[in-house]
Homo-oligomer: A and B are copies of this chain.
Amino acid sequence: MSQGRPRKFDETEVVERAMDLFWSRGYEAVGLSELVDHMGISRQSLYSTFGNKRGLFIRTIERYRETQLIQALDLLEREGSRIDNVKAVVSFFESLATDKRCRGCLVANTLVEMGPHDEEIASLLEDTLDLLQKGIERALTEAQAEGELAPGKSPLQISRAITNAVIGLAVTGKLRPGAAALRDIYSGTLSMLD
């Protein structure tokens, strides 16, 4: 006899399925029916696990940070040249710009869609970008200490400008720019380090 217990599901897996939809299409455009279909859970499970659509969305941004941003931060921790690590981070975001689905970056997309109007979400996005900017700044400070970056350069200033440029890449990529254009954006942006 059924006990009426809710079907168990892998929370991480269903969050990633929701992330997939929000990343491709934004927050408002994705309906609740479509979400539960794509996640393979009941509406009741969505409510009991995530509260509501917004609660689920916040979990997908957190998951994005744990899966996507962490890859960029890991690149900064590699042994060897700190400057090469910063270049690898810009390449990483360049690869988002060449994604065939043109999804861009969930953080940049959400910033454009929601702006600063939802304070909790804006704060989460800001923290996420801060992690990236501070990671790059730390790498550049180390590069400077090791003589890889000229003494007159400001790691804070350059890390802010590079973070801004990788957000730009996430948007520029939506137009499917050619390889030559992307290479120029990459090289031009990194010439800040020269």
- Asked if A154 is an interface residue, CB under 8 A from chain B, the answer is yes
Looking across the interface, which residue of chain B has its beta carbon closest to that of A166?
A: B168
Query: Is B161 a contact partner of A112 (Cβ separation < 8 A)?
Result: no
- Asked if A125 is an interface residue, CB under 8 A from chain B, the answer is yes
Query: Is A112 a contact partner of B115 (Cβ separation < 8 A)?
Result: no
> Which residues of the other chain, B, contact A73 by a CB distance below 8 angstroms?
none
Tell me the dominant secondary structure on chain A's binding face. helix
Known: A174-B112, A175-B116, A175-B126. A164 touches B185 (CB 8 A): yes
A107-150 toward B: CB 8 Å interface, digit per residue (1/0)? 01101110111000010011001000000000000000000000
Contact of A167 among B26, B158, B168, B184 (CB under 8 A): B168
Query: Is B102 a contact partner of A116 (Cβ separation < 8 A)?
Result: yes
CA of A105 to CA of B131, assembled, Å: 25
- Asked if A59 is an interface residue, CB under 8 A from chain B, the answer is no
> Which residues of the other chain, B, contact A104 by a CB distance below 8 angstroms?
112, 115
Query: Is B116 a contact partner of A157 (Cβ separation < 8 A)?
Result: no
Query: Is B175 a contact partner of A189 (Cβ separation < 8 A)?
Result: no
Q: Residues on A close to B: CB < 8 A?
A: 26, 28-29, 102-104, 108-109, 111-113, 115-117, 122, 125-126, 129, 154, 156-158, 160-172, 174-176, 181, 184-185, 187-189, 191-192
